Amino acid sequence: MLKNKTFGVYIHWPFCLSKCPYCDFNSHVRASIDVDLWEKNLLADLLSFHDKTSDKIVTSVFFGGGTPSLMPPKIVETLIHKITNSWTVSPDLEITLEANPTSVEEKNFSALAEVGVNRVSLGIQSLRENGLKFLGRTHSVEDAKKAIETARTKFDRYSLDLIYTRPHQTLEEWEQELEEAISLANGHLSLYQLTIEEGTPFFLSYHKGDFRLPTNDQSALLYEHTAEITRSHGYESYEISNYAKPGQESRHNMTYWLYHDYIGIGPGAHSRLTIDGEKYAIRRHRSPEKWVEDVSLKKDGTHEVRVISGKTKSEEFLMMGLRLKQGIDQREFTEQVGYSFSESTNTKKIHKLITENLLELSDTTLKATEEGRQRLDGILRYLFEAESPPSN
Ligand code: SF4
């Protein structure tokens, strides 16, 4: 099966200049970073996967964070060089790096392009000063526009990230901002609705009543308009929050959504890797300091490994695949999970969701409708929850 013969590589750089109030990613602010130690340990962590993957082809590399655009380009170069020299890589290898549009990072763009990065995902988040201020971002709208112009000249491809459903944001305001973003974009947009995550400063201030978010109905309307506007410019909503012109989809993220293999190195990184017919879940320690300790001691950041059971594989496959507009391919499901689609899924529940216009089933695929994709968390909870025992 070719899909288990290819894999993506995720590299986590966990540091940021400051912490945004909505962010629950594994990102940290540190006064100083021992870059030589980080280079050595990321390299060792990468090579710890070599024996298990040397017969597979690398199709994508993704530097995520944190803020990997603050990584010294020398480390990015060392890692790319090691990957392209130690593994077979596909001829159209996609190498993406997440970047923030501050002037410091924009200065790194030339060097990053020279060492092989061919796609950047720019976290511009808003094209309105009040939006950036609310989100606690340290760049300005002008910085964002300048960084986009630099990205246009330096990289083959770039994507823009924006956050909407911000407090007081009207439909008209978002439409204008989105049209502007589309005019600056280059075939790919990630458009996220603001969510309030536990443990973040926004969680506290939201629950104190400092600000309010749009209602569910308003958010649904904004989501539908987003799909319509992007579609009118030739973008397809190929995943819940991702919009692309044909051929511009993120190949690395498609690896996750298609439940293909990937390895993750650096603090908190996860892997899904098929070895001798078994799929493994492998995890690194989330704390940067603990991860450094693990790798320094063992030359391998593995913190936990487990074989994924058939039931979990089936749930993970659905959880990922139903995010995609194309849905899941039933034959692929059987190949990856090891059981037939009808054997492993609850047909009664699926049919109930079809009658509610949330899912669509054909002979070959299962898809969430546009409404279903907006309510995917609830659909998955319903599909996976244990059946109540029949009452007497
Ligand atoms: S820059 Fe990104 S990763 Fe860092 S704190 Fe802000 S949202 Fe989180």
Beta carbons within 8 Å of 247's beta carbon, 6+ residues apart: 187
pLDDT for res 105? 84
| Residue 3 alpha carbon to ligand 1 centre in Å | 32
pLDDT in tens, 220-277: 999 999 999 999 999 999 999 999 999 999 999 999 999 999 999 999 999 999 999 9
Domain containing residue 79? 2-256
Helices vs. strands in the chain: H and E counts, helices first: 18, 15
Integer Rg of the chain from CA: 21
Helix/strand/coil for 83? helix
Name the nearest CA neighbour of 90 among 49, 60, 120, 112.
60
Task: Give pLDDT, residue 211.
Answer: 96
Is residue 169 classed as helix, strand or coil in its secondary structure?
Answer: coil
Both 44 and 133 in one domain: the answer is: yes
The contacts of residue 172 (CB under 8 Å, 6+ apart) are none
Residues 252 and 330 in one domain: no
Q: Span 332-359, mean pLDDT?
A: 92
Is 105 found in the same domain as 230? yes
Based on the fold, state whether residues 142 and 30 are members of the same structural domain.
yes
User: What confidence tens digit (pLDDT) does each residue in 360-383 have?
Assistant: 999 999 999 999 999 999 999 999
Q: Give the residue, out of 19, 143, 163, with the most ligand 1 atoms within 8 A of its beta carbon, to mutate for a pocket test.
A: 19
Residue 73 lies in a domain: yes
Task: Answer with the one of 237, 256, 275 that is the final residue of a domain.
Answer: 256
Residue 386 has a pLDDT of 75
Query: What's the gap in Å between 20 CA and the centre of ligand 1?
Result: 5
- Angstrom distances, CA of residue 41 to CA of 32, 80, 117, 311: 17, 15, 21, 35
Structure tokens at 179: 């049209």
Cβ atoms of 247 and 196 within 8 Å: the answer is: no
* pLDDT category of residue 3 using cuts at 50, 70 and 90: low
* Residue 321 within a domain: no
Q: What digits encode the pLDDT tens for the residues 57-87?
A: 999 999 999 999 999 999 999 999 999 999 9
**Cβ(27) to ligand 1 under 6 A?**
yes
Q: Measured from the CB, is residue 16 less than 6 Å from ligand 1? A: yes
Q: Which residues contact 31 (CB under 8 A, 6 or more apart)?
A: none
Instruction: Read off the CATH number of the domain in which 30 is found.
Output: 3.20.20.70
328 lines ligand 1 (CB under 6 A): no
192 lines ligand 1 (CB under 6 A): no
Give the rounded percent of residues in the chain with a pLDDT score beyond 90: 93
For ligand 1, atom 7, the nearest C-alpha belongs to: 23
* Domain end point (choices 213, 240, 256): 256
Q: Over the stretch 92-120, which tens digit does the pLDDT of each residue have?
A: 999 999 999 997 788 899 999 999 999 99
124 and 232 fall within a common domain: yes
The answer to whether residues 243 and 334 belong to one domain is: no
H-type helices in the chain, by residue range?
Answer: 35-47, 50-53, 73-86, 103-106, 109-114, 129-134, 141-154, 171-184, 201-208, 216-232, 251-257, 288-298, 310-321, 330-337, 341-344, 347-355, 370-374, 376-384
What is the average per-residue pLDDT within 136-145?
A: 96
Burial of 131 per CB tally in 10 Å (0-12, 13-18, 19+): buried
At 390, is the pLDDT very low, low, confident or very high (cuts 50, 70, 90)? Answer: very low
Same domain for 240 and 149: yes
Give the separation between CA 64 and CA 84, rounded to whole angstroms.
Answer: 19
3-state helix, strand, coil in the chain (%, to 5): 45, 25, 35
Residue range 145-171: average pLDDT? 96
Is residue 2 over pLDDT 90?
A: no
DSSP 27-47: -B--S---HHHHHHHHHHHHH
Asked if the structure places residue 270 within a domain, the reply is: no
Q: Clarify whether residues 66 and 214 are in a common domain.
A: yes
Write out the two tokens for 220.
């649904």
Residue 166 alpha carbon to ligand 1 centre in Å:
17
Average pLDDT of every residue of the chain: 95
Residue 388 has pLDDT above 70, yes or no: no
CA distance 165 to 93: 35
Q: Would you say residue 176 lies in a domain?
A: yes
Domain count, the chain: 2
> How much of the chain, in percent, has pLDDT values that exceed 70?
97
**Which ligand 1 atom is at minimum distance from the Cα of 125?**
7
Cα of 86 vs centre of ligand 1, distance in Å, is: 31
Q: What is the pLDDT of residue 1?
A: 43
Instruction: Assess whether the C-beta atom of 19 lies below 6 angstroms from ligand 1.
Output: yes
Name the nearest CA neighbour of 341 among 308, 365, 367: 365
Domain assignment of residue 186, yes or no: yes
Q: What's the CA-to-centroid distance between 18 and ligand 1, angstroms?
A: 8
Mutate to test the pocket of ligand 1, among 12, 13, 15, 16 (most ligand atoms within 8 A of CB): 16
- From CA 288, how far away is CA 139, in angstroms rounded? 26
Picking from 256, 289, 310, the residue at the C-terminal end of a domain is 256
Is the minimum distance from the CB of 189 to ligand 1 under 6 angstroms?
Answer: no
Asked whether residue 232 falls in the same domain as residue 115, the answer is yes
* DSSP-derived secondary structure letter, 59: E
Residue with tokens 């009118």: 232
**Per-residue confidence band for 387, with pLDDT thresholds at 50, 70 and 90:** low
25 lines ligand 1 (CB under 6 A): yes
- Is the CB of residue 100 below 6 angstroms from any atom belonging to ligand 1? yes
Residue 216 covered by a domain: yes
Residue 284 domain-assigned (yes or no): no
Q: Is the pLDDT of residue 392 over 60?
A: no
| pLDDT at residue 107, rounded to an integer | 87
Give the contacts of 388 (CB within 8 A, at least 6 positions apart).
Answer: none
299 in a domain, yes or no?
no
CB 263 within 8 A of CB 273: yes
143 and 241 part of one domain: yes
For ligand 1, atom 8, the nearest C-alpha belongs to 23
d(C-alpha 50, C-alpha 31), whole Å: 33
If one counts every other C-beta atom within 10 angstroms of the C-beta of residue 331, the result is 12
